[in-house]
Each structure stands twice: as structure tokens, then as C-alpha cells.
Structure 1
Amino acid sequence: MNAPIPKSPSATPAWRALSAHAARFADVRIADLFAADPQRAQHYVCEDVGIYLDYSKQRANHETLDLLFSFARQQGLDAWRTRLFGGEHVNNTENRAALHMALRAPRVADFRDAGRRVGDEVQDVRERMAAFAERVRDGEWRGATGKRITDIVNIGIGGSDLGPRLVCSALSPAIDGPRPHFVANVDGAELHQTLSRLRPETTLFVVVSKTFATQETLANALHARAWLISSLDIEATAQHFVAVSTNEEAVSAFGIAPDNMFGFWDWVGGRYSLWSAVGLTAMVALGPRRFDALLRGAHAMDTHFRRTPLEHNLPVLLGLLAVWNHNFLGCASHVMAPYAQRLSLFSDWAQQLEMESNGKGVTRDGLPVDFQTTPVLWGNVGSNAQHAYFQMLHQGPAVHAVDFILPVFADHPFRDMHRKLTANCFAQASALMRGKTADEVREELQAKGLEGDALEAAIPHRVFPGNRPSNMLLIPRIDAFHLGALLALYEHRTFVESVLWGINAFDQWGVEFGKQLTKRLLESETEVSLDPSTDELMRKVQFYAR
């Protein structure tokens, strides 16, 4: 007997029920939901691990949530959560587990890969990292000329760059070790600009590449080594370079001693790898104690996600509401709006997490999806964003869902400025929800003395449609613990979405094809034909390069 063909999520009863509910919800305004439920602001909230989520400004009511929870149960979210934490190979296309949670758990935690406990290995690497970080920070590890290390350069790309770069930026006031720098782009301008500020004898490089063959990373590492030995000598490589990799042979050939290589495992996906040795640069800059606090915050969120019922679960609520907005209410994209300058890189990190994880066109079973998976995720810090694209969010015809993130307490002495920042954040979320009607605009303009044709001509330009959904996430402050919890929250939100869509969040085959074509262009000594446009562009570049 042939096996039954798996159903698309869009063909299931729960999806159809949500679609019918969304159709009935077409004319419902969020402001009316508040009017119908005076306690809505107290009912539509969730709090744990120091993070307070207010989702009362979503276009959703109790029926919506009941249908979403039914959808989650239909898609087996509880079972998939158990499989994830149980070390099952949820990354089915690569036959791997996704055990990044083990990287921030205590040694005694019983995480297993193929039945084998991984806690001791994880803790051993973490202890090696901490010992190395302390040697550099204390001045025991010195450069080839005997000088202390003052600057550390992380060379990696994607998940080997974005996570530690975000952490060092977000926790910059706490940096009390060597100054961290990050180089990712194969555009040599980034490396050149970074090196121009540094001295070879006091600089340490951390080359982060699982295979030690990533094209962009290796190109930057080779040029950084050439810069170093042009001032010192080739033997200096061993004192100024360490590696985060699993390829001992390639690391040794580069000139890095195997004792100075920090490994990780194939169950660690790149965009989930901050918590591993990939975070070495952040640990050196911030110190092992603060890095441990980052891990503790993430572990606390793991425990919340693992043990909390769906109805009170922060990642589950964020994931369900994201799918509701995107697939059923037609929101064009998802905007990250952290009202904190130190979270200026949060949107970059979240983009890779979400769109590389869930930018898939087939289900786990390899069948084409007949619905949209990840929305475009983008954003910038408030209040800067208010003077850029918030015009579109307020008055553009497309509706975009927004996540506002605000630290309650500032880390600077300018309390009046933090009060203004907070007021701006709350006001923008309120304005997106409330809108402003033509009657309200007319009354405002009449109060200013405008009348007649000039009044009527002015009104359409000042009307705000409103009814635009948003979440508000409050965190006490941007410290290591709460930053770890926030990042883990969005990691698990991404997984929840993948379960609802029936896709694999842990592979990224779409990245590979472009790499293959790049390799063909770089390795061929004769003309490579890819397509007529590319061929002509290559000829044009070669002409200008003569």
C-alpha cells in the first residue's frame, strides 16, 4: 500500500478555520477590541525571564488565539519541541540534531546527540575558552614581540560574525578586555579599514570557519596574515592567530597550533552558533563571567520554552502571531524596531536567523509549499527609524507587522533622554494602532483656523488608517543575561514558525548554488559561460581592468 501523501498545512482543518476567521475579521479594528474588553491591556500579555510581552495591539481576540493554538497542536508543536530538546535529527536534510540549547546549559543537563551525552564535551570547550580568554585579558598571552594584546579581530561571516558582533555592540559599555573588531565582507575595504587602526604586535586574530575553507573568511585571514608578517615574520602567526574550526589539518597548515583551535559540532548551525566557541571574541572582550551570564539568560529562555504551556509561552505567542499576520492578515513584512542604540545590529542578526532558517519553498517532505513562508524581516533602531521609513508604516497602503523592543532602564546618565525615547516608542505603537480619521483631522485643522477648500484639500494627506499590528517587548536593561534571553526568544520563535509551516529551519541549501557559480568563475583560467548577461558583465569588467 502506498504511503499517504502528507497534507500541506494550508489544506488542513485548522488552516481553513483560521482563513475563515480572518475573512470575518476583515473589518475589525484593534481600537474596537480595546473598547469591547476594558481589561485587554492586562489580558493580552505574557512575562517571564525578565521579558514582558504586550500583544494587545494585535488584530486578534480570544477566538483568534484559540484557533492559533489549535493550529499549533494540529502541527504537532509540542511533539516537535520534545524532539528538538531530545536531540532527534530535526534537521532531516542533513540528518543532524539542532542542539544549540546544549551550548548554554549546565554540564549536568541531559542533552544527547544520537543517545550520547554532550554536556561534558561542551563544558570542556567552554572551560578552554575561558582559560584562553583570561590569559589574553591578564596579559599572560602576549604577541610575538612580548607586548600585551590590545585588540582582537574576529574574521568570519554569517553566523560566525553576526552573533558575536551583535553581542559586543550591545554590551559595549561592559567591555573591559581587548577592543573587539569584526571583519566579514570579502570586499577588502572592510579589512583594510580595520587594519589601518591596528598595530600588528598588539593584535590577535580569531578565524572562525567550521571547515576553514569559507571563501570570504579565508581570503580575509590570508590578507590579515600577510599584513602581520610584513611587519613581524611568519613565525608570529602562532602568537597572533587562533581558530574556531573543526579542520585541524587546514588550521595547522595556516600556521595555527592545534592547541589554539577551538572546536564545535555538526549539530551547531551557523546562525545558532554564538553560544559555542564562535563567541570566543566576545568572551575575550567581555570576560568569561559576562559571557556566562549571556548563556544563563539564553538557558533560562530555553527552560521557559521547553516547559511552559503554549498559551503562556513567549516564543510560541510570537511565532503564532507572526504567522497570523503574514499568512492570514496579509502583512507585507515584519519590522524590528528596537528602541535602544545598543541594539542597532539586532535587525541584521534577526534577518539571518529568520530568513535563512525559514526562507524555504518546500516542506520537510520535499513538497512545494502553496503558501508564503518567511516574510521579509528588516528594521533599524528607534527613534532614527521614525525619520526614515515610519512614514510608510503609518500611511503606506501595505500593512507591516512591527516588534517594538524597549529597555526599561537606561545605561547612561541622561534620564530625560531615556524618557523621551520611551515616549516615542509607546507613541509610535499607539499611532500605528489608533490611526486618525478624517473627522479628527478636520477638527484639528479647524482649531488652527483652516477652513473652506484649503481645509478639505489638506485632510486626505493627514489621515492615518491605523489598525496596524505590533508587539511591545520590554526588557529591564541591556545586560548580558537579558540579551541572552532575548536572542534565544527569537531563535525559538523561528523554530515555532517552521513547525507551523512544516519546513526545516536548520538547513540552508539556498546559500550553496551561488557559492558553486562563484567558485567556477574564480577557478577557471578561461572564459566561463554562465548566462549571456553574466558573460557580458565579465567582459566589461575585464575591459575596465586592463
Structure 2
Amino acid sequence: VNTTESRPALHHQYRALKPSPEFDFKKICGPLLQKIKQEKYKNIITFGIGGSFEGPKLLQEFLLNPASNINYAFVSGPDKDEFNAIVKPLIGQKNLYIFASKSLSTDETLTCLKWLGKNRTDKNSIVITANSEGARALGFAEPSIVPFPESVGGRYSIWSPISLTAAVENNFTGFLQGAGLADSLLSGGSTEAKKYQKLIKTLAFSDIWFNNFCNKKNRVVLAYNWRLRSFANYIQQLEMESLGKPSNSASIFRETGQTIFGGFGSTAQHSYFQQLHQGTSEYSADIIYSPKAQSPLSNAQAQGQSSLLSSAHKQSSNLLERTNGNIPVNLFILPTLSLKELGFLLATWEHRVFVTACLLQINPFDQFGVAAGKTAAQKFLK
């Protein structure tokens, strides 16, 4: 399906009921996870950026295990201040350093590897990559290399060994099972599957409609649970890298992807919500919350803001108090905050993006704009 780069997109294979050996997360990572548990590391530090950062970070924050004896840290680079603030105080302790990079040519990650220097050894580091040859060239020993296929895109790699840290103290299988359920509904023929397919089509159709015909170029993504505070960042990369493409001349749609922004709902209410309610730009919105897993105040905020945003224009005798309304809201209500529920939600979002791309007649799996940015930066390093 990735026609512009002449390669398949097979990240969903990790979610299969019976995955092939190349995509069997448990078989690939099981022995290594057992070894990590036996070592009783004090800190597990992951170096990565893009999909190698957003996915693992989202998962680790979502898991929220106060009883854990392990400190998980994530470093994106290449700012030395970030390295000094997060990594430097931990050097000398019992650390596991994880370098996560599909290509292993990402400047930010390689810079962190250089800064770590002799503090990295074969015993305290692993590399997760689709470039095993490059890993060996950088000095990683064979047992320290965790491979994944080239057919798994960075922004779709959350299902792969890239998310190894999430499985150290948790049952990662549930996460994959939730996503696998969504996949089965997308391709199924049951009544339940048809309802799911209707949902995906409705989400995709409405995104395109709002963007092309209602001037709603921006969509805000708000999660009203602290464990999902990085959800919007993950979705921002998923959507804007997948749908941020030139329009297809054969398509009737001139606008492709919307601009996605957002964050933790309660914090957002005290910053950019003012513009949502009374500004002059046009928006649509996605709101995510779980009634059983959060405080009554958070529930009230999620429902109240959803109602206010989507309601008709609120008249007031005082012009300064009038609110815009007319912001279409998709409300995602999670029964529980389990890994299975999160897996189902993220796979559903992928399906939304894929169907949108099909309707727009663009490729959601390439990223030539990202590559152009990397090339431009290299010119200034010389």
C-alpha cells in the first residue's frame, strides 16, 4: 500500500491473532524482557524521537505504576541541556540504555549515543532498529540488537519492539489484543463490524467535510485523564505525518489533513480554550475521557466543555460574554483505562486516518517532507 516508497505497511501484523515469527512480539522480546527483569535496573532510559519517542512515552505515562521500583526516562535530543537534566544525574547508577531508531541515522539519537560515550557498554544497552547492520557498525553486540522490519513505519511502530519498556512490568499482550479486535471489526461482516465500519467512515467523512467545506482547518484533541496527557502529541504525529501531503490532482478535495493540536483537557481550559470559545478561527474537536477512571470534576469538565463547544451560538446582552459554539465534537468515552481499551482506541484512530487518506487519494505511509527537513539541516552542519 506504500506505493511511493515501493514497500508494504505491515505494522498491523503485530496485532494478528497468530502473528508470523517476524511479528510475534512475545517471542521476539520475551527472553530479553526476562533478562531485564532479572537485572533489577534502577533506571531505564530510552533515546529516540518521533515515533520512537511519542508511542513509548504515551504508554509509560498511561501505565502509571506507583509501586514500580524502576524510573523510566525518555530523551529526544539533541539539546545538551535535556541530556544533562535527565541522563547526567543518573550516570553511575544501574541503568539500561535503550536506543530506539528505525533507520539508526537519526541525528538526535546518534548525538545522544556520542554524549553517553564510555558509559554505554554491551551489558547496559540495547538498540531497537530496522537497521541491524548499522547497529553493528556503531558497536552494538548482536545480543543487544532487537530488530523490527522495514515495513513498520515510525509513527506506526508503537505495536513493535519500539514499545519494549511498556512490557517490562506489564502484560503488553492486552494492548495488542485490543488493537487486533479493532482490526477484525474493520474487515468483518457481522452486525457489530458493520457498526464499527460506519463509525470509521463517519469520522473520516466528517474530517474531510469540515476541512474542505466548513473552513475548519484545525482540530483540537483533548484527553481528560492525566494518564492520557500525551495522547494528543501521539495523535498529532500520526495524523499530520500521514495526512500532511499535497492534494491529489485527481481528487475533488483540495485540502488534505487538518492541523492537530491539544493536550490534557483540564490544563487546556486555562490556556487556548479562550480562543475556542470566543476567537475568530474555526475548529472541530475530539474529546476523550473515562467516567469510571477519573474524578467527578474531570468528568464534569469533559462533558461541560463538549456541550459548550458544540452548542449553538450563545447569545448574551453583554457582547463580551458571547461564546461561539458551532464546534463539532467527537466524544470518545472509554469504559475503563486498560491497555486493551487503549490499543482499541489507537488502532481505531489509525483506521480513521487510513480511510481518510483513501478518500483523499494520498499515501499515509510516506513522509518526504520529514526527509526534506533532515536534508536541509545537514547543509548547515557542514
Same fold (TM over 0.5): yes
Residue equivalent to 1:351: 236
Give 1:247 shift: 2.9
State the number of aligned residues.
Answer: 378
Change (3 A) 1:403 1:300: same
**Mapping of 1:351-500 within 5 angstroms?**
351-363=236-248, 371-410=254-293, 418-435=295-312, 437-438=314-315, 441-442=316-317, 459-500=318-359
Residue equivalent to 1:528: none
Aligned AA for 1:126?
A: K
Residue 123 of structure 2 aligns to a residue whose secondary structure is helix
Mean Cα deviation higher: 507-516 or 460-469: 460-469
| Counterparts of 1:432 and 1:170, CA distance in 2 | 27
Aligned AA for 2:337?
A: I
Residue equivalent to 1:521: 380
Residue equivalent to 2:12: 101
Aligned AA for 2:310?
A: M
Contact 2:186 2:197 in 1 (8 A): no
Change (3 A) 1:299 1:368: closer
Give 1:169 shift: 0.8
Residue equivalent to 1:159: 51
Residue equivalent to 1:131: 31
Contact 1:394 1:464 in 2 (8 A): yes
Residue equivalent to 1:303: 184
The partner residue of 1:319 within 175, 183, 204 is: 204
Mean Cα deviation higher: 202-211 or 176-185: 176-185
Aligned AA for 2:185?
A: H
1:185 pairs with 2:68: no
Give 1:162 shift: 0.7
Contact 1:126 1:276 in 2 (8 A): no
Residue equivalent to 2:2: 91
Aligned AA for 1:247?
A: N
1:65-120 CA distances to partner (integer Å, 9 max, x unpaired)? xxxxxxxxxxxxxxxxxxxxxxxxx110111111211012122x5xxxxxxxxx12
Contact 2:251 2:360 in 1 (8 A): no
| Counterparts of 2:228 and 2:212, CA distance in 1 | 28
**Mapping of 1:230-309 within 5 angstroms?**
237-284=121-168, 286-287=169-170, 289=171, 291-307=172-188, 308-309=193-194
1:342 pairs with 2:227: yes
Mean Cα deviation higher: 166-175 or 466-475: 166-175
Residue equivalent to 1:120: 21
Contact 1:340 1:406 in 2 (8 A): yes
Residue 93 of structure 1 aligns to a residue whose secondary structure is helix
Change (3 A) 1:293 1:311: closer
Residue equivalent to 1:150: 42
Largest Rg, 1 or 2 = 1
| Counterparts of 1:97 and 1:175, CA distance in 2 | 41
1:218-247 CA distances to partner (integer Å, 9 max, x unpaired)? 111221234x16xxxxxxx10011111233
| Counterparts of 1:175 and 1:515, CA distance in 2 | 41
Unaligned runs of 5+ residues in structure 1 are 1-89, 110-118, 140-147, 230-236, 412-417, 443-458, 525-546
1:462-500 CA distances to partner (integer Å, 9 max, x unpaired)? 122322211111002222111111111111111111011
Aligned AA for 2:368?
A: W
TM-score relative to the length of structure 2:
0.93
1:225 pairs with 2:126: no
Change (3 A) 1:211 1:463: closer
1:307-344 CA distances to partner (integer Å, 9 max, x unpaired)? 22377543332222211221122213010011111111
Residue equivalent to 1:32: none
Aligned AA for 1:429?
A: S
Aligned AA for 2:267?
A: N
Q: CA RMSD in A?
A: 2.1
Aligned AA for 1:426?
A: Q
Change (3 A) 1:310 1:320: farther
Contact 2:247 2:360 in 1 (8 A): no
Residue equivalent to 1:215: 107
Give 1:517 shift: 2.3
1:263-319 CA distances to partner (integer Å, 9 max, x unpaired)? 1112111100111111112222x33x2x11111111111112222237754333222
Contact 1:310 1:317 in 2 (8 A): no
Change (3 A) 1:175 1:262: farther
TM-score relative to the length of structure 1:
0.66
The partner residue of 1:503 within 349, 362, 365 is: 362
